[in-house]
Amino acid sequence: MEEIMLVKDFAHELKSWRTVFYFFFPWSLYGLFILIIYFLFPPKLNMAFILITFLYLIPPAGKESMVPAGVILLRGWLGPWSMPVVALSIAFVDSFVGLWMMWNWDLIKLIPFLGSYIRKLEKIGEEKWRKHKHLSHLAYVGIALFVAFPFQGSGGVGATVIGRILGMNKYRVLYSIIFGSIFGCFLIAFLTYFAIFSFENFPKIWLVVAGIIIFIIVFIIAIKWIRGGKK
C-alpha cells in the first residue's frame, strides 16, 4: 500500500513538473529568439524587428502586415536575404504559439466561460471527426492552407483551436501550422521584396496600371466571397 502511494505521489509530482515545463518552455524559446535578434542585428534594427515579431502576437496584426514591414525594414541591410530571415522569424512565432496552445490546451479550458464553451465544441468536433476520418489528410492540408493565407485569426492560435475542436491529432496540427506558416510567410516576403524592386525600377505609369488591376481583382474576389458566404 505504501509503495502504491509513493508511486502515485511520484506520478503527481512528475505531472506537476511537466505542466510547468509545458507552460514556460515555449516562452523560453521565444525569449532566446529575442536575444538572438538583439545581439545579431544592428542596433538601429534589432528593437524595431523585435517589435514587429511581438506585434504579430496581437490581433489584428497578421502576416499581411508584419511580413512586409519586416522585409522593408531589413531590405537595406540584408538585401534578398531579408526574405528568408523575416519569413522564418514570423513562422517561428506561429510555431511557438501553436506549441504553447497544444501543450496547455487543458489549462485554457479552465478559463471561466471560454473553457466551458470550448469543451462543448471539442466534444462535438470529436464526434464529427470519428464519423469522417477519411477526410483526415485533407483536413491537415486545410489547416496548413488556413495558416498560410493571411485571413484574420489564421495564425497559430486560430489553427490550434480549430484542430483541437475538430478532434485532430495535436502534433499533426502543429506540423500543419509550421509548414503552412513557412509557406505563407515566404510567399508574402517574396511578393513584397519584388514588388518594392519593381516599383523602384518601373516608370510611375506602370504603378497606376498595376494599382488598377489589383483593385479590380480584389473587388471581384470580394464579391464572389460575399456571394459564397450568403450561400
End-to-end CA distance of the chain: 64
Assess if residue 76 is contained within a domain.
yes
| Contact partners, residue 41, CB within 8 Å, separation at least 6 | 49
Total number of domains in the chain: 1
Q: What pLDDT is recorded for position 32? A: 95
pLDDT tens-digit readout, 45-87: 999 999 999 888 876 677 888 888 899 899 889 988 999 999 9
Assess if residue 208 is contained within a domain.
no
Q: Is 154 helix (H, G, I), strand (E, B) or coil?
A: coil
Cell of residue 175, nine digits = 506540423
Average pLDDT, the chain: 76
What range defines the domain where residue 37 resides? 2-203
> CA–CA separation, 160 vs 156, rounded Å?
6
Assess if residue 212 is contained within a domain.
no
Query: Taking every pair of C-alpha atoms in the chain, what is the biggest distance, in angstroms?
Result: 85
Q: What pLDDT is recorded for position 70? A: 92
**Which candidate, 60, 65, 54, places its Cα nearest to that of 27?**
54
Q: What pLDDT is recorded for position 49? A: 94
What is the 3 state secondary structure string of 102-135?
HHCHHHHCCCCCHHHHHHHHHHHHHHHHHHCHHH
List the chain residues with pLDDT less than 70.
Answer: 1-15, 59-60, 113-115, 117, 121-137, 150-154, 197-231
Assess if residue 135 is contained within a domain.
yes
Assess if residue 229 is contained within a domain.
no
Q: What pLDDT is recorded for position 111? A: 74
Assess if residue 227 is contained within a domain.
no
Is the pTM above the cut of 0.85?
no
Query: How many degrees, rounded to 5, is the angle at CA 46 between CA 39 and CA 103?
Result: 80
Q: What pLDDT is recorded for position 132? A: 56
Q: What pLDDT is recorded for position 213? A: 64
Assess if residue 221 is contained within a domain.
no
Assess if residue 219 is contained within a domain.
no
